[in-house]
Amino acid sequence: MKKLLRIDLSNKQYRYEDVPPLYANLGGRGLTSKVVSEEVPPTADALGMENKLVFAPGILAATPAPNNSRLSVGGKSPLTGTIKEANSGGAAAQKLARLGIQGIVVEGASSALTMVKVTKDGVSFIPAEGFKGMGNYDLIDKLKAEHGDSISIISIGPGGEKLLKAATVSVTSPDFKIRMASRGGLGAVMGSKKLKAVIVDDTGAAGIEVSDAAKLKEAAADLTKGILTHPLMEGLKVLGTPLLVMMINGAGALPTKNYSMGQFEGAEKISGEFMMESQAKRPNSQATHRCMAGCVISCSNVYTDENGKEIVSGLEYETLGLVGSNCMISNLDDVAYINRLCNDLGLDTMEVGAAIAVAMEGGILPWGDGKEAYALIEEAGKGTDRGVMIGNGCVATGQKLGVKRIPQVKGQSLAAYDPRVLKGTGVTYATSPMGADHTAGNALPSPANPTYNPTASTGQAPVSAFLQWYFAAIDSLGICLFASLPLLDMPDLMKHLIACATAVTGQAPDENYLMNLGISVLKSEKKFNEEAGFTTKDDRLPEFFTKEQLPPSGLVFDVSEEEVDTALKF
Ligand code: SF4
């Protein structure tokens, strides 16, 4: 029987609870959002004692289902003031699932920096004052040396310790690369609880329990086979997410110069194609890499310098778009070093990239200067005023510098897709309970759906609504987004995914399973936000997206407010 693990940091106590009926058959985002909406007062201080930090493997964690083990991290966000879930690849979710843990609810706060170690024998509290101010890379090396190879580490860097609103929660992959639950400043919530790291060791764990193992195995095999026939998989396996740079640039939606242009003249130099060619000449680089066991796509990479020393793994599209084109930085090594610095400090490359571009518009550093950008982000780790400004994200930066064009919704920066061209994504940015978040429902054109026009000014809300409930369900199952995309074009595969989930939970298969799950997640998130004081007036893109024509297309975001407001009316 799965258990809920509650850790009280104020008293250094823990207990395993039977899963209450309210949380039964939930996982991932579904569980984190349910716990937060039930147990955290919506008006609580996100960095105060009343907020809780929830870690939850998805429903399919550690099963034979493909790409099955994202770890959801949830709480009230210090960046947006909304409910927040951010998820990450890595090994922690599988280990927690094998330990029989449905989720960890972290409550209270320690008086001194601490770590917790979770094993089959329970939880131990480990003093961590000696690790104060330590970056994620050194921390991971030290913990691995001390606790062995069978652990996964969930940790924060100096960004989280300093309560910066762009702080991330890092999760190690099976080979101890850094993956991130990046968005919404949940690293600062972890820092506010003085929790430096959670070490998960599944040595000797009993393993997962499922309702019907044979059915699960069969459905997982059918699902994997189907996913791998989708044409997108070939591209992802070769170029990874950086393949999107030239695609989105070609569509005129690549954020450039703080979202003032949709195409970047240096796009080729930060593209997946360029990366593959230049990295092929460097020792130890890897064009493909898996962030979790059971991944059948391997979209990630290992990016190295000329001597074969790893700079970062992986260098992904969102970083290339927000740190690269949006800041007009076309030197790929500069982007990679900034990514490494953000990983070490525990900061969101997307929020930081957006903040740097706003700072460039504010005139405190030149456009395209990767070295200056690096130096400014470094200041975040030192806690200077300018560094704290960047580490608190694009709204803090715009407000401090008097910049009016701030690309955000509910305080969170947009992703690397301009909403004037991708208007369904724009509706998602506007209405997602998470603030501007592409993973909540990114409406990209697809050859498999030629009738969808992403630039049309009507018909976008239903597209966004469908994607938002679909991805809320996917985030609850713990499946990686890339493994879920083929199902949008090949709906026949949905039955295999539903069969996987119901074979785990024992629920009766129901063709509406994903929709019911996704809508129920969105409803609890919306309820929390409404009780926190958010209204439809907060579901708006910044005015400049509706007024400024985006070169070269000349498009504006012109989906009516009336239509936007229908998106999440379930
Ligand atoms: S496809 Fe990419 S993000 Fe998804 S599990 Fe594999 S490596 Fe991780």
**Is the Cβ atom of 299 under 6 angstroms away from ligand 1?**
yes
DSSP 8-state class, residue 422: S
Tell me the H-state helices in 28-119: 28-39, 92-98
Mean pLDDT, all residues of the chain: 97
Q: Can you read off the two tokens belonging to residue 434? A: 């998470």
Strand order of the β-sheet with 300-304 is 286-289, 300-304, 310-312
Residue with tokens 């199952």: 477
pLDDT at 17: 97
> From atom 2 of ligand 1, which residue's Cα is the shortest distance away?
299
Distance CA(531)–CA(524), nearest Å, equals: 11
Return left, alpha or beta for 432; rule: phi > 0 is left, psi -120 to 50 is alpha, else beta.
Answer: beta
Ligand 1, atom nearest to 241 Cα = 2
Return left, alpha or beta for 179; rule: phi > 0 is left, psi -120 to 50 is alpha, else beta.
Answer: beta
Nearest to 333 by CA among 261, 291, 282, 264: 282
> From atom 8 of ligand 1, which residue's Cα is the shortest distance away?
291
Ligand 1, atom nearest to 314 Cα = 7
Query: What is the rounded end-to-end Cα distance, in angstroms, of the chain?
Result: 33
Cα of 227 from ligand 1 centre, angstroms = 13
**Is the Cβ atom of 63 under 6 angstroms away from ligand 1?**
no
Using most ligand atoms within 8 A of CB, pick from 480, 481, 484, 485 the residue to mutate for ligand 1: 480
Cα of 253 from ligand 1 centre, angstroms = 24
> From atom 4 of ligand 1, which residue's Cα is the shortest distance away?
480
Cα dihedral 188, 193, 194, 196 in deg (nearest 10): -70
Distance CA(29)–CA(59), nearest Å, equals: 10
pLDDT at 445: 87
Ligand 1, atom nearest to 480 Cα = 4
pLDDT at 403: 98
For the beta carbon of residue 24, count every other beta carbon within 10 angstroms. Answer: 12
Q: Which residue type is seen at 540?
A: R
Distance CA(547)–CA(549), nearest Å, equals: 6
**Is the Cβ atom of 179 under 6 angstroms away from ligand 1?**
no
pLDDT at 409: 98
Phi, psi of 162, deg, nearest 5: -85, 5
**Is the separation of the CB atoms in 189 and 53 below 8 Å?**
yes
Using most ligand atoms within 8 A of CB, pick from 87, 178, 291, 479 the residue to mutate for ligand 1: 291
**Is the Cβ atom of 290 under 6 angstroms away from ligand 1?**
yes
Contacting residues for 411 by C-beta, under 8 A, at least 6 apart: 79, 80, 81, 393, 395, 435
**Is the Cβ atom of 439 under 6 angstroms away from ligand 1?**
no
CA distances from 312 to 157, 280, 315, 333 (A): 16, 15, 7, 10
For the stretch 47-66, pLDDT in tens is: 999 999 999 999 999 999 99
Nearest to 66 by CA among 176, 197, 222: 222
**Is the separation of the CB atoms in 120 and 202 below 8 Å?**
yes
Cα of 291 from ligand 1 centre, angstroms = 6
pLDDT at 186: 98
Distance CA(458)–CA(269), nearest Å, equals: 35
Can you list the residues of the chain whose pLDDT is less than 70? none
**Is the separation of the CB atoms in 73 and 81 below 8 Å?**
no
Distance CA(526)–CA(236), nearest Å, equals: 33
Cα of 216 from ligand 1 centre, angstroms = 21
- pTM exceeding the 0.85 threshold for the entire prediction: yes
Distance CA(302)–CA(307), nearest Å, equals: 14
Helix (H) or strand (E) holding 160: helix 158-161
